[in-house]
Amino acid sequence: MRSNAIFSKSRLAVLASSVIMGGLAAGYGVAMAAQSKVMLSGAHEVPAVTTSAKGNGTITIGKDKAVSGSVTTSGVAGTMAHIHEAATGKNGPPIITLEKKGDNEWMVPANAKLTDAQYKAYKAGSLYVNVHSATHKGGEIRDQLKP
């Protein structure tokens, strides 16, 4: 009888350890990805654009440089959307083309990843998201990604 009690306590200890370690691992995984909330507006474009269009969303970048997320817009007939590389106040080349889903949602494509140099630029605050339109081919609304 006594050995069964010891066995049960051992199983309980192993189970508790597994739950704790699993929780720590899950928390660690969350800490490994940085979520950047974006609020796109014409005022953030370079040069600034007068528009009532806006957008918001979340772009997540993991330490493994994997990129995911989406942006939802309103008041703009978007023709393209990208993540670009450039600091605030500057324009730069597109590095990831977002995919249009429906009338006003843009998604980061599956398996998108940054290069080492792009990840370094992200950590320095030098990546941004913008949505282009027929009226504003260079971009109508924009916001920087914040690491």
Asked whether the predicted pLDDT for residue 1 surpasses 90, the reply is: no
Q: How far apart are CA 126 and CA 135, in angstroms?
A: 25
DSSP structure string for 16-29 = HHHHHHHHHHHHHH
> Which three-class secondary structure state does DSSP give residue 12?
helix
pLDDT at 33: 81
- What is the DSSP secondary structure assignment for residue 140, as one 8-state letter? S
Q: What percent of the chain has pLDDT over 90?
A: 75
Q: How far apart are the first and last CA of the chain?
A: 57
Domain boundaries along the sequence of the chain: 34-145
pTM of this structure: 0.78
